[in-house]
Amino acid sequence: MDSYSLGYANIALVKYWGKKSKDPVLPYNPNISLRLDNLLSKTKIEKNDNNIDEFYINDEKQSQEEVDKMIKFISKFTPTNREAITIRSYNTVPTAAGLSSSSSGTMALVLACNEYFKLNKTTKELVEIAKEGSGSSCRSFYKLAAWLEDGSVEELECSLDFGMMVLVVNEDRKKISSRVAMERCVQTSTTFDAWVEKAKGDFVLMKEALKDADFEKIGEITESTSTSTPSFSFLTEESHMAMDIVKELRSKGYKCYFTMDAGPNVKVLYLREDQDKLYEEISKLWKKKIILCME
């Protein structure tokens, strides 16, 4: 039977920006994310009859560099004497546009390997494996996840029902991957240490705000941690226009907050109960595409 494994995108409410260590994979600061159930990757693995490893996203053959990257990763946890495979994946999340396709893709790939190679790993083990492929993919296994400085991943609880939409500025593949951008920031930003310290404080505040179901506080912290350190920016003029729309609506009483990641697209955090009226208002002001992340 054709069965696909699903992996989800996640967007950080408290960001991390760079890894303190690659082996083991450790973030510089603890961070918290929200899973986007509507932005996903579905992946299955098939035997390759031509005896070469291949990788497709949305039926498009991926470059040898991408194939090598996937194979290097899965070789860490799959049998060494395996036959050649085709990794077949479909993304509903735009690929490499700052909406965490690396997280959804890696989670789906790890689950697909678990299935195809009959690895019988527990969720906890799969979370650990995923981290080696894409650090933040470890957070995609839980609706609300905290990735701590010691590398462990915790599921968090909050009684609020969140919604998120993307004001799409550009869905194209970005020119610089998140990994390269993060490394560049760590090496060149003169304010990186201060940024990490602030993020550590924000992490504590966010955990409290989630526990208290205090949406205003959650939104304020989300917005305040969303800017990267100044040495690098993916934002365009249109990203700023989209952020201004969110601020304008907030000044009119709408409960909405923006967050940015390694890409130009603007994500808006709100409560699910407000989705219809917020979508209506935003559509009047934002004429480009809007993606609802949690229908």
Peptide bond into 24 cis (omega under 30): yes
Residue 119 CB, nearest approach to ligand ADP (Å): 17
Residue whose CB is less far from ligand ADP, 33 or 178:
178
Token pair listed for 123: 């969720």
Stretch 195-224: interaction string toward ligand ADP, x if CB under 6 A: ------------------------------
On the CB side of 207, CA atoms within 13 Å amount to 14
Residue closer to ligand ADP by CB (options 95, 114) is 95
Does 89 interact with ligand ADP (rule: CB under 6 A)? yes
Give the residue from 219, 286, 224 showing the smallest Cα distance to 254.
Answer: 219
Q: Compute φ and ψ for 289, nearest 5 degrees.
A: -65, 145
Q: Which of residues 250-289 bind ligand ADP (CB under 6 A)?
A: 262-263
Shortest reach from residue 6's CB to ligand ADP, in Å: 11
Length of the chain: 295
Site string for ligand ADP, 40-79 (x = CB under 6 A): -x-x-------------x--------x--x----------
Cβ partners under 8 Å of residue 162, min gap 6: 34, 269, 270, 271, 272, 294
Q: How big is the site for ligand ADP, counted in residues (CB under 6 A)?
A: 22
Interaction with ligand ADP in 158-197: which residues (CB under 6 A)? 177-178
If the CB atoms of residues 30 and 264 are measured against ligand ADP, the closer one turns out to be 264
Residues 200-229 as b or e (16 or more Cβ within 10 Å = b): eebbebbbebbeeebbeebbbbbbebbebb
Q: Which residues bind ligand ADP (CB under 6 A)?
A: 41, 43, 57, 66, 69, 89, 91, 95-102, 105-106, 109, 177-178, 262-263
